[in-house]
């Protein structure tokens, strides 16, 4: 439950599990705050004697959403290489007065973790404020950094680490992220552990706002849990605490979140950092896959087809193959001040191939095409991951050696097709304000997922005089290295006409361009693709997912009835953004008893923000 300093709950709804605050204060800028260590301190030394966390929910609906998220996370419902991805985020060199005096603070701490505490097989996405806008232009830098943060976050990751200035409603002076931006964060079932090594991002006892950034992300679908401080902290303390946690999880063992948050707090005498989440949730990097044996050639050829042979492993399993390019050093220079400010950091290890393969019989051979623009020499890495039960396993080959290959005769660029759902778009298309643009790309030489030259990327969308990098949104189809698709969310505020262009390169640098004229119009409220899966239910250990697609953000509730009309279970009202949504039912009634076999009726009820309603009834057969 959540807590506020309104101990008598005069304003209602927030003070469910009261917080311990050594000094009571309602000042958001005050140095004092709450610490939950008090509830687990059995010896009186000020430190928790067992693992503790707070799930700061305020309603049954929030708790239901949290539990559903937790179950899906621990069952590893969504596997994929996102479980081997870190998102590293850093503030820039400017302080609150606009003076570039903090180059030695936030970025060097993140870069230390990047260089020394990030294992080679981890794919790294970097959202460093120095990469965006112009030095000293707080508005431009903040706007571009915010856009990058949201796009990177929405692609999913195992872990997000932030170093910088913050408070319950804001990250960085440039406003990289504000509390009101959080509904734009949509992980689609891939929530990371978020860690904010900053000041007061975890202050959870304020009356306004009801939920700060760390709380909100933990309660909603943005994070499986958050670790953040309730008070101001010294930058050195943040640095060492972050190092401790990263070093701990590098053993590639399974750790409860309570251990991850707690052990470093004791080591560095911290009591005001709070875990927002279930301390018993199990977290780990991908576990070593000891059953897998893979052979690759001594040297792989760029600009050519290559292969890896899986000699031993688990057949009838979906394997994910990821090849990461070696990272390079990048030097940032701020020459607007004298003396100039510089810093050299280690860049991203960008994926140059990402695909999935359904292995039926062993041994089996996986084929992939390396881009001709990749660097030769040592330093790249191959990772092969798979799900086994509720574990996510990984096998790595590092370092790979790249050499120049024999360039083929392919002179044509990729074929490009636009879709909304399964409807192909030709030349001109009428579309809603918000939709998913699906682009199918195919080429015998594969699609270039690396840099082509300069700032030119392998897949780009040109719109509003800007080029949008679409490489992170591309996935090859299963068992293919020649064909795949981009899925990119398109969002517009009002009806308009707009021209877009898709530019794609194959791995031999052959280019194709396709144009599309969009007629963007607001559409009526609708709910489609309403399904229950599985249906019928035959496994007694299975649950049911109710899925649907909303044309507009809405409140959704599922009710399940017997054939005689008796209410068996209700999900409670839950808020969903436009697009795909799902609600999980564990096949227990409102009294938490197992339900019996039989035919049931489920009703989906929706109400959007404009008050428009929709409901439908369908059947569900349970035959366990």
Alpha helices in 250-306 (DSSP H): 257-267
In the prediction, which pLDDT does 487 show?
Answer: 92
CB 560 within 8 A of CB 618: no
Return the pLDDT at 32: 67
Highest-scoring range by mean pLDDT, 3-17, 496-510, 536-550, 559-573: 496-510
Q: How far is CA 531 from CA 127, 534, 602, in A?
A: 38, 9, 10
Rounded to an integer, what distance in angstroms lies between the CA atom of residue 461 and that of residue 84? 27
Structure confidence by residue, pLDDT tens digits, 552-589: 888 899 999 998 889 999 988 888 877 888 999 989 88
pLDDT tens-digit readout, 348-360: 999 999 999 998 8
Give pLDDT tens digits for 144-198. Answer: 999 999 999 999 999 999 999 999 999 999 999 999 999 889 887 889 999 999 9
- Average pLDDT in the 492-510 region? 94
Query: What tokens were used for 78?
Result: 């969504």
Is pLDDT at 115 greater than 70 in this prediction?
Answer: yes
Is the pLDDT at 263 greater than 60? The verdict is yes
Question: In the predicted model, is pLDDT for residue 210 greater than 90?
Answer: no
0.95 surpassed by pTM: no
Task: Kindly state the average pLDDT of the residues 294-320.
Answer: 91
H-helix or E-strand spanning residue 70: helix 60-74
Confidence of residue 23 (pLDDT cuts 50, 70, 90): low
Residue 28's pLDDT is what?
47
Taking each helix axis as running N to C, give the angle between helix 106-116 and helix 235-249, from 0 to 180 degrees, rounded to the nearest 10: 20
Which of 1-15, 267-281, 503-517 is predicted with the least confidence, judged by mean pLDDT?
1-15
Taking each helix axis from N to C end, the angle separating 235-249 and 257-267, rounded to the nearest 10 degrees, works out to 130
Spatial distance between the Cα atoms of 274 and 24, rounded to a whole number of angstroms: 18
Task: Give φ, ψ of 74 to 5 degrees.
Answer: -75, -25
pLDDT, tens only, 183-207: 889 887 889 999 999 999 999 988 7
CA–CA dist 274, 217 (Å, integer): 14
Q: Is the pLDDT of residue 291 over 60?
A: yes
As a dihedral over the C-alpha atoms of residue 579, residue 583, residue 584, residue 590, rounded to 10 degrees, the angle is: 180
Region label for 13, one of left (φ > 0), alpha (ψ between -120 and 50) or beta (otherwise): left
- Residues 506-518 have a mean pLDDT of 96
DSSP characters for 300-327? EEETEEEEEEEEES-SSEEEEEEEEPPP
Contact 499, 514 (CB under 8 A): no
Question: Over 70: is that where the pLDDT of 24 sits?
Answer: no
pLDDT digits 0-9 by tens, 45-58: 888 999 999 999 98
In 3-state terms, what secondary structure has residue 100?
Answer: coil
> Residue 211 — pLDDT band, cuts 50, 70, 90?
confident
Domains of the chain: 36-285 (3.40.50.1460), 288-404 (2.60.40.1930), 415-520 (2.60.40.650), 527-622 (2.60.40.2550)
Interatomic CA distance for residues 403 and 337, integer angstroms: 43
Q: What is the per-residue pLDDT across 528-550, written as a single tens digit (0 to 9) for each?
A: 889 999 999 987 777 899 999 88
Choose among 351, 362, 366, 231: nearest CA to 296: 366
The answer to whether 213 and 204 are in contact (CB under 8 A) is: no
Report how far apart, in Å, the C-alpha atoms of 419 and of each of 121, 438, 455, 466, 498 are: 34, 5, 27, 21, 16
Six-digit token string for 3? 């807590």
Is residue 356 within 8 Å of 377, Cβ to Cβ? no
> Per-residue pLDDT tens for 89-100?
999 999 988 899
% of the chain surpassing 70 pLDDT: 98
The pLDDT value given to residue 572: 83
Cα torsion for 275, 154, 284, 41, to the nearest 10°? 0
- State mean pLDDT over 73-94: 87
Tell me if the bond preceding 22 is cis, omega within 30° of 0: no
Cis peptide, bond prior to residue 483, ω within 30 of zero: no
Burial category of 349 from C-beta neighbours within 10 Å (exposed 0-12, middle 13-18, buried 19 and up) = buried
To the nearest 10°, report the CA torsion of 183, 184, 187, 193: -70
Q: Is the pLDDT of residue 61 over 80?
A: no
What CA–CA distance (Å, rounded) separates 356 from 360?
Answer: 13
Strands 456-457 and 451-453, sheet pairing: antiparallel
């Amino acid at each position: 439950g959540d807590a506020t300093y309104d101990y008598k709950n005069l304003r209602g709804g927030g003070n469910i599990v009261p917080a311990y605050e050594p000094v009571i204060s309602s000042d958001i800028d005050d140095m004092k705050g709450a610490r939950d260590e008090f509830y687990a301190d059995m010896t009186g030394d000020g430190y928790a004697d067992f693992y503790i966390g707070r799930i700061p929910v305020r309603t049954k609906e929030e708790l239901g959403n949290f539990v559903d998220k937790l179950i899906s996370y621990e069952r590893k419902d969504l596997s994929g290489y996102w479980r081997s991805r870190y998102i590293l985020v850093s503030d820039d060199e400017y302080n609150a007065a606009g003076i570039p005096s903090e180059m030695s603070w936030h970025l060097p701490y993140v870069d230390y973790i990047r260089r020394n505490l990030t294992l080679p097989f981890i794919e790294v996405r970097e959202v460093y404020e120095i990469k965006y806008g112009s030095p000293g232009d707080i508005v431009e830098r903040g706007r571009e950094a915010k856009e990058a943060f949201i796009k990177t976050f929405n692609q999913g990751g195992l872990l997000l680490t932030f170093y910088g200035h913050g408070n319950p409603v804001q990250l960085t002076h440039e406003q990289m992220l504000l509390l009101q931006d959080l509904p734009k964060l949509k992980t689609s079932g891939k929530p990371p552990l978020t860690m904010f090594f900053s000041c007061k991002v975890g202050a959870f006892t304020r009356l306004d706002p009801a939920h700060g950034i760390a709380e909100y992300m933990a309660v909603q679908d943005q994070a499986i849990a958050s670790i953040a401080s309730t008070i101001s902290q010294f930058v050195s303390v943040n640095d060492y605490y972050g190092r401790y946690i990263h070093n701990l999880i590098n053993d590639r063992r399974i750790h409860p979140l309570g251990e991850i948050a707690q052990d470093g707090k004791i080591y560095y005498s911290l009591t005001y950092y709070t875990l927002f989440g279930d301390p018993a949730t199990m977290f780990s990097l991908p576990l070593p896959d000891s059953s897998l044996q893979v052979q690759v050639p001594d040297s792989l050829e760029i600009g050519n087809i290559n292969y890896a042979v899986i000699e031993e492993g688990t057949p009838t399993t979906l394997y994910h193959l990821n090849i990461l390019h070696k990272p390079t050093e990048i030097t940032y220079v701020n020459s607007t001040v004298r003396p100039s400010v510089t810093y050299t950091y280690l860049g991203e290890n960008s994926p140059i191939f990402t695909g999935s393969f359904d292995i039926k019989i062993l041994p089996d051979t996986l084929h992939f095409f390396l881009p001709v623009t990749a660097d030769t020499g040592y330093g790249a890495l191959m990772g092969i991951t798979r799900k086994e039960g509720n574990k996510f396993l990984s096998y790595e080959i590092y370092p790979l050696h790249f050499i120049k290959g024999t360039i083929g005769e392919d002179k044509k660029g990729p074929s490009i097709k636009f879709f909304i759902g399964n409807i192909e778009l030709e030349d001109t298309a009428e579309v809603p304000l918000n939709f998913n643009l699906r682009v199918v790309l195919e080429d015998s030489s594969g699609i270039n997922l690396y840099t082509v030259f300069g700032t030119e990327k392998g897949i780009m969308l040109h719109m509003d005089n800007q080029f949008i990098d679409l490489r992170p949104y591309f996935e090859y189809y299963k068992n293919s290295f020649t064909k795949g698709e981009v899925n990119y969310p398109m969002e517009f505020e009002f009806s308009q006409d707009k021209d877009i262009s898709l530019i794609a390169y194959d791995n031999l640098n052959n280019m194709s361009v396709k144009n599309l004229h969009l007629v963007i119009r607001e559409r009526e409220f609708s709910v489609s693709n309403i399904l229950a899966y599985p249906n019928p239910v035959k496994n007694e250990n299975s649950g049911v997912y109710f899925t649907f697609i909303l044309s507009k953000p809405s409140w959704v509730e599922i009710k399940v009835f017997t054939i005689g009309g008796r209410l068996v279970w209700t999900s409670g009202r839950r808020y969903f953004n436009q697009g795909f949504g799902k609600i999980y039912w564990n096949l227990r009634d409102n009294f938490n008893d197992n339900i019996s076999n039989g035919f049931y009726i489920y009703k989906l009820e929706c109400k959007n923000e404009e008050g428009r309603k929709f409901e439908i009834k369908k059947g569900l057969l349970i035959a366990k």
